[in-house]
Amino acid sequence: MKYAIIGGTGVYSLGGNVKEVSLETPYGIIDFSIMEKDDKEIIFLPRHGKDHSRPPHLVNYLGNMWALKEYGVEFVFSTVAVGSTRSDIVPGDLVLLRDFLDFTKSRPMTFYDGSSGVVHVSMKEPYCSMLCDKILKTINLRDDTIYVCTEGPRFETAAEISFYRQIGGDVVGMTNVPEVVLAKELSMCYCAVGVVTNMCTGLVNVEATGSEIIAIVKDRKEELTNLFVDIILKGDLVTDACSCRSSLIRV
Ligand SMILES: [Zn+2]
């Protein structure tokens, strides 16, 4: 069985036997690392490219998810940096994403462009219920978090954040859509944990600096990666306990 961990930065140093792979996809070459441990292959995919050169609106979402599917990945664990719209979610917190509001504007959104007929994908459970249950049994973190995805790379205005909060958005980021949707289109189990790096615009007088945001992500990334690896190595993830492989609707 193959597993993947997607992160905003690509440097993972967990030891073990790691090899670098460049996989050609219809959407370009995708670089990732593979760690083999206990007869399991765990792929580490840097979302923004191995040199972190692609801003959120230009991430190769199609190539990234296609590469994972082509390599045979069944289960995907993702980390995303988020800002908080709520005073009870603060920098350093971890939140389990359960639903999203999509305010992206220009990025490719689907593998189904009509060449293979009209296909819809159910969003009843955007994030795999089985993987979410495993995470909740392993770590104490906020459940039921609603993620707002904005286009970026600019941050949001105070008026936008006020609006997102009013319609139910708990945290705001720039990368989880269409990643979560594409995973579902390819019938992979996918979950995402948000690392809260800052309070959103209008909630604090002094905004977080880039270095403060990076420091928080680095601080929690290793912990989260180890958490995901622990869940994977338990070896009890199954493909028939969720709806991820029956979410496509052809009409
Ligand atoms: Zn699933």
Cα 126 to middle of ligand 1, angstroms:
9
* pLDDT value of position 9: 64
- Residues, CB-to-ion distance under 5 Å, ligand 1: 128, 130, 189, 242, 244
* pLDDT value of position 16: 65
Side chain identity at 89, as an amino acid letter?
A: I
Cα 183 to middle of ligand 1, angstroms:
10
* pLDDT value of position 14: 61
Read off the pLDDT band of 43 (50, 70, 90): very high
Cα 208 to middle of ligand 1, angstroms:
35
Cα 238 to middle of ligand 1, angstroms:
8
* pLDDT value of position 149: 98
Cα 84 to middle of ligand 1, angstroms:
27
Q: Residue range 81-91: average pLDDT?
A: 96
**202, 161 in Cβ contact below 8 A?**
yes
Number of domains into which the chain is organized? 1
* pLDDT value of position 136: 96
Q: Could you give the C-alpha distances from 97 to 82, 112, 166, in angstroms and in order?
A: 11, 25, 18
Cβ count within 10 A of residue 25: 18
CA 130 to chain centre: 16
**98, 193 in Cβ contact below 8 A?**
no
Read off the pLDDT band of 18 (50, 70, 90): confident
Cα 240 to middle of ligand 1, angstroms:
8
Cα 128 to middle of ligand 1, angstroms:
4
Is the model's pLDDT at 11 over the cut of 60?
no
Q: Residue range 58-85: average pLDDT?
A: 97
Q: pLDDT by residue (tens digit) across 98-128?
A: 999 999 999 999 999 988 889 999 999 999 9
CATH number at residue 68: 3.40.50.1580
pTM score: 0.95
Which one, of 139, 121, 234, 122, lies nearest residue 193 by Cα? 139
Residues 6+ apart with CB under 8 A from 144: 96, 98
Cα 108 to middle of ligand 1, angstroms:
23
User: Rounded to a whole number, what is the largest CA-CA distance in the chain?
Assistant: 51
Structural domain that includes position 210: 2-250
Is the model's pLDDT at 13 over the cut of 60?
no
Q: pLDDT by residue (tens digit) across 173-228?
A: 999 999 999 999 999 999 999 999 999 999 988 788 888 888 888 878 888 999 99
* pLDDT value of position 38: 84
**43, 34 in Cβ contact below 8 A?**
yes
